[in-house]
Amino acid sequence: METNSLLLFLCTGNYYRSRFVELLFNHYAANAALSWRAESRGIALEFGVNNRGPISSAALAVLHERGIVPAEPIRFPLQVEEEDFRRTQRIIALEEAEHHPLLLHRFPHWLTRVEFWHVPDVPRATAADGVALMSRQVQNLIRELTIERL
């Protein structure tokens, strides 16, 4: 399978939401033989001062429950940079209320290309609720991309 389209998931710290959907999307996209691959980045890593380790333990636990095991070593969060936007065909930020102002301030010229989902971060939503919502969003996206391919 040739991978030729890149999807970029964004959240604030690239620790929980964007990392979860990146790994989940890549798993489902491979199973559906889609020519899409996802990466994830954080818009403001400095806001994740309480993050411990490379990825949220809640996100990692759900991925493991679903048989999705990230490659070792698991990378630490990455800050989004201009080049990430340039090489990406599709950009999705995980919560408009939180991420629109950050993007407007830091990357205003890319804002028109960003799609927004509405997945609040912990503690405004429980990890279980967030994971369930993100899972549905990723499944909808996989269906959309599968239909576009046909």
DSSP string, 106-141: H-GGGGGGEEE-B-PPTTTS-HHHHHHHHHHHHHHH
Domains identified in the chain, total number: 1
Q: Which domain holds residue 41?
A: 5-149
- Provide the residue-wise pLDDT of the chain in tens; the chain has 150 residues: 455 899 999 999 999 999 999 999 999 999 999 999 999 999 999 987 778 889 999 899 999 999 999 988 999 999 999 999 999 999 999 999 999 999 999 999 999 999 999 998 877 887 888 899 999 999 999 999 998 877
Alpha-carbon distance values, 105 to 12, 45, 63, 102, 109 (Å) = 13, 15, 33, 5, 10
CATH of the domain at 105: 3.40.50.2300
